[in-house]
Amino acid sequence: MRGYAATVGVAFAVAAGIAADNGFAQQAPVKRDFESEIQSALQAAKTAAEFEFLGTLVRTCLLPQSGGEDTRDNVPGYVTNPASAPPRDTWYAEPARVFDNLYFVGGKVHSSWALPTKDGIILIDTVYPYNSEELIIGGMRKLGLDPKNIKYVLVSHAHNDHIGGAEMLQTRYGVRVVMGGPDWDWVAKYPNRYKTMAPKRDIVATDGMKITLGDTTVTIWLTPGHTPGTLSYTFTALDRGKPVNVAYSGGTAFNFVNNTPDPGIRNFQIYIDSQKHMAAKAASTGATVLLSNHSEFDNAFNKNRMLAGRGDGPHPYELGVDWVQRYFQVMQGCARAAQLKLEQRLAETAKR
């Protein structure tokens, strides 16, 4: 009996081992096919972009920016030596009345937008310090707008190509400046980097904040990612008296730390979540117009020139609800592909 019991005990032990092995096999994680996941994310972005958002696709998918945090605090060369600023023909663009109450006063690459109301003007973004005088001040005057009537300046994010004229406008006209809290902090942290561009800290934006002037309201949405304090907007413009809902994307390229899994994976998730957030707000307002602060993303420079030949045809900026959503899908797909590459690197490192 003792021998039998021992034999049975061994049998149960073997059976238990087999069962444990089978259980382990069933619960073992399936090996991820990162290359397939990356290609799927890239293809989703390409499909969403088609021929409408090629600039966005190139900048975020095909030639994405990669790098670490820039902690230098140097005065820009075009501030210390104005003669070193880029030649005028590389950035100058004619101002344009795009909608009844929305005027383009930016350049070939970087945009600035004026929304006149019965009680003053809301200005979105202020280009560089070396061209804000000619593009914004000069452009508004060409269009019959008085820059003295600017009441609010909304800065989408604290990069020199968008905050450049904010200090000048605040000092000269006493405008209220609105910016995201982390970007206000950034400006204070790097006084040399923002020399001649740093307005005094003023209005700190919150998610859903409304800036109302006269009969116009701009709703601000926090969309961190491009910078920690990036802002995007929704508002209504008029096209020959017809209301048109606009979604303004405040930051697109991958300027954040994204070349290492930590904190790159987390930073990409912040970026992706922001695009989902803004897409939802655009959808809830029925936005049919997509604006950005770079012509490579919304094709503003070329569309402005198309306005002269519009006649009774459709407005070149009015894309429809579906296309506005597709813009944010491009950004999400490209960011997810880049995030997956970091996840793949992290998994490979863990194996070593």
Q: Is 125 left (phi over 0), alpha (psi -120 to 50) or beta?
A: left
- Of 316, 251, 303, give the one whose Cα is nearest residue 278: 251
C-alpha to C-alpha distance for 236 and 100, rounded to whole angstroms:
11
Q: How far apart are CA 122 and CA 104, in angstroms?
A: 12
pTM above 0.85, yes or no: yes
Q: Does the pLDDT of residue 15 top 70, yes or no?
A: no
List the one residue out of 195, 220, 199, 200 whose CA is nearest residue 122.
220
* Token pair for 63: 């030639």
Q: Which residue has the higher pLDDT, 29 or 277?
A: 277
Task: Specify the pairing of strand 203-205 against strand 150-154.
Answer: unpaired
Q: pLDDT for 61-79, tens place per residue? A: 999 888 888 899 999 999 9
pLDDT per residue as tens digits for the range 71-112: 999 999 999 999 999 999 999 999 999 999 999 999 999 999
Are residues 118 and 150 in contact, defined by beta-carbon separation less than 8 angstroms? no
User: Percentage of the chain with pLDDT > 90?
Assistant: 88
Q: Of 16-25, 95-104, 156-165, 180-189, where does mean pLDDT reach its minimum?
A: 16-25
CA 193 to chain centroid, in Å, comes to: 21
φ/ψ of residue 153, rounded to 5 = -120, 120
State the amino acid at position 180 in one-letter form. Answer: G
Rounded to a whole number, what is the distance in angstroms from the first to the last CA of the chain?
51
For the chain, the farthest-separated pair of C-alpha atoms sits apart, in whole angstroms, at 108
**Of 288, 183, 278, 195, residue with least CA distance to 227:** 183
Question: Between vectors from CA 164 to CA 201 and to CA 65, what angle results, nearest 5°?
Answer: 105
> Could you please report the per-residue DSSP string of 109-137?
SB--EEEEETTEEEEE----TTTHIIIII
User: Greater confidence, 150 or 67?
Assistant: 150
Averaged pLDDT for residues 148-173: 98
Kindly report the backbone phi and psi dihedral angles of residue 332, in degrees, each rounded to the nearest multiple of 5, phi listed first: -65, -45
Residue 68: per-residue pLDDT: 81
Check residue 66 and give its pLDDT: 85
Q: How far apart are CA 331 and CA 194, in angstroms?
A: 28
Output the pLDDT for position 88.
Answer: 98
Q: Are 239 and 318 in contact (CB under 8 A)?
A: yes
Q: Report how far apart, in Å, the C-alpha atoms of 128 and of each of 76, 86, 151 are.
A: 11, 11, 20
- Give the C-alpha separation, 237 to 223, whole Å: 22
- Per-residue pLDDT reduced to its tens digit, 237-288: 999 999 999 999 999 999 999 999 999 999 999 999 999 999 999 999 999 9
Rounded-to-integer distance, Cα 99 and Cα 101, Å: 5
pLDDT score for 352: 82
Residue of 315, 308, 320 whose CA lies nearest to 99:
315
The mean per-residue pLDDT over the stretch 201-218 comes to 98
Q: Which of 76, 113, 110 is nearest to 91 (CA)?
A: 110
- Strand 120-124 with 176-180, pairing: unpaired
What is the pLDDT, as a whole number, of residue 3?
A: 40
Residues pairing with 261 in the sheet: none
- pLDDT bucket at 29, cuts 50 / 70 / 90: low
